[in-house]
Chain A
């Protein structure tokens, strides 16, 4: 009898041990953004439904880039899913480093993903990453200060109007800056902003033969305009301001206008953190008078599967869950529609409940008006709006943005910076074989 019980117990233990040994687990590398953290909180629901455990590795954006780049180029196999952006996806997809996201289920409805996002995350028509959330950039402004200045913000303003409004809203005595913009060095920080500003003045990074274009008048005009406007109406020390610094200034009521990522709209309208939550209006990113391109970018944080993972099916299952319509509804149900991951799916913007969110329409309009294949007026050989999707870009743009930041800090002139940018970029591109 005793032996029988012991044998039963041993069999049961063996079953449990076998089940545990076979329990699948995937590791996901991600960034510490609000939407990503929220997703981590709902992971239990995914595990409950599928039996797949999820381990998160959350890192700061630049560390994450370095970490996942090292891992994917060496086939380290540390991650089953990586959070990457629109810059890396087409390059890594072309190199065969990512698993194509083909054969997704019918319920997933791939066609519902916004076309702009789909294009930006594909290479030669194959989707390599699914957008978790997408963003463009737009103008966020203080409605009360605009009214006080006796001006009305059009839905699609020009840079000339923005400059005039910024000057009118500036009140140095009360520490209010008419406009807050990124000046911080870094290709994804100030570099991204000045690139889209350049686009809206007709400037471009390269001509069709990959020759750098910083010696052209459009760049001089764009950079001079930016520097002069910021000197008139920008905050002191803006050369070191990035997204977070400007968000902080805007939330404290120290900016009349802020042009930045559409995802910031949910932060500045959140009464828990923002002192001006009920006084914020939105408009499309500006263009220069007579230039048919606006200064809005296009970006997505997307989930991709590195080639060589042992957990491809489980990883696909997770991506389907995290970027599905059901996930959006799960978040809306628990945290309200204003907190769902924006900018990825068409159906979200057709939802009457989401249409009530104040920044929903402007976000969609901004995303739809961004065209990564034609980012500026003249033709370009690259894809990307605030970047050129070539491997050399990150290094070159970081250096160029450092030169521009030195102008913002008053350490050199616009002409000097453009001359250095031209020489450096030409040298690097030549060395890279372009």
Chain B
């Protein structure tokens, strides 16, 4: 009897989990479906779910109008570059905070996080002027630095939490064996924190990929990533939902695939450390 209740409970939980999963995924699914409709079908009421004439016309139009690969390459460079640079800076910072804390470490951590609460538009003009002076407008290098700085508090926080899980005695033992600081971080700490670093990298790559304020405001032609690609299909006067959906699907596809293949590491990392 007890087993029957448990099985029923499990089935209910599974069904509930699937329902929530579908609910969360539905907007993405709907976007993908609309991308295969004509513009008239896209606004049909009642909405057409699967019973419509599937077409690839929108993808063809988007491909013809925009240089998708250029936008994609920019996204990869900007998201990848900012994440790698962020991790390089954050690992030593998080090491110091986790293993050699000072009286003010907690305050510094909180202060770092509080910078995330500043509305981006509040510093748009100063950063724009700086970019003009430094010749960084519409460059991938400039965006790599900005996105790295924006995500740095999260990277430091996540790594700090993972590092705190690692016993300090292991590092101490390495030091006693004659390891230098560099060797201690590179050959002892980093290998032990690989799952945490991997999930930090993945999460911040996704955050940088989706960032749509700075990437729209600091780029024009050369460094414009996929967020600019999507924005170019949004229209206030005219119904181009099907084309917009096709552009959105093309923009999210790489990150969806990456997320799909790395979901185990992502979930493990997130539930193990910072956000547990």
| Interfacial residues, chain A to chain B (CB-CB below 8 A) | 27, 29, 31-34, 37, 40, 55, 57-63, 66-67, 70-71, 73-79, 188, 242-244, 247-248, 251-252, 254, 261, 263-264, 267, 272-273, 275
Contact = CB atoms under 8 A, between A and B. Distances in A.
Contacts of A248: 43, 239
A251 B38 CA distance: 14
Given A34-B238, A40-B65, A76-B132, A273 B45 contact: no
B128 A70 contact: yes
Contacts of A27: 220-221
Interface of B: 39-40, 43-45, 65, 124-125, 128-129, 131-132, 137-138, 216-217, 220-221, 224, 228, 231-240
A76 B128 CA distance: 8
B231 A59 contact: yes
B45 A254 contact: yes
A33 B235 contact: yes
Contact of A32 (B43, B224, B233): B233
Nearest to B138: A78
Given A70-B128, A78-B137, A57 B224 contact: yes
Contacts of B216: 59, 63, 67
Given A74-B125, A76-B137, A32 B220 contact: no
24 contacts: A31-B236, A32-B233, A33-B236, A33-B238, A34-B235, A34-B237, A37-B65, A55-B220, A57-B232, A58-B233, A60-B231, A67-B216, A70-B125, A73-B125, A74-B125, A74-B129, A75-B132, A78-B137, A78-B138, A188-B236, A244-B236, A247-B238, A248-B239, A254-B45
Contacts of A247: 238-239
Contacts of A55: 220-221
Contacts of B44: 252
B40 A67 contact: no
Contact of A66 (B65, B131, B132, B217): B217
A319 to B, nearest CB: 19
B220 A60 contact: no
Contacts of A57: 220-221, 224, 228, 232
Contacts of B236: 31, 33, 60-62, 188, 242-244
B42 to A, nearest CB: 9
A272 B232 CA distance: 23
B133 to A, nearest CB: 10
Listed from nearest, the 6 A-B pairs whose CB atoms lie closest are A58-B232, A60-B234, A32-B235, A248-B43, A61-B236, A78-B220
Contacts of A79: 220
B40 A273 contact: yes
Contacts of A63: 216, 231
A323 B129 CA distance: 33
Contacts of B228: 57, 59
A103 B74 CA distance: 40
Nearest to A186: B236
A175 to B, nearest CB: 8
Contacts of B217: 66-67, 70
Contact of B128 (A37, A60, A62, A74): A74
A57 B228 CA distance: 8
Given A31-B237, A33-B236, 13 more contacts: A27-B220, A31-B236, A32-B232, A32-B234, A55-B221, A60-B235, A61-B236, A70-B128, A74-B132, A78-B138, A242-B236, A247-B238, A254-B45
Among B132, B231, B237, find the residue whose CB has the most chain A CB atoms closer than 10 A.
Answer: B237
Contact of A252 (B39, B45, B232, B237): B45
Contacts of A188: 236
Contacts of B221: 27, 55, 57
A243 B238 CA distance: 8
Contacts of B43: 248, 251-252
A398 to B, nearest CB: 15
Nearest to B64: A41
Contact of A273 (B39, B124, B132, B231): B39
Given A57-B221, A252-B43, A267 B238 contact: yes
A263 B232 CA distance: 20
Contacts of A37: 65
A71 B216 CA distance: 12
A33 B137 contact: no
A31 to B, nearest CB: 7
B132 A244 contact: no
A411 to B, nearest CB: 25
A177 to B, nearest CB: 13
A209 B173 CA distance: 80
A275 B39 CA distance: 12
A244 B237 contact: yes
B231 A261 contact: no
Contacts of A244: 235-239
Contacts of B238: 32-34, 244, 247, 267
B124 A263 contact: no
A244 B65 CA distance: 22
Contacts of B234: 32, 60
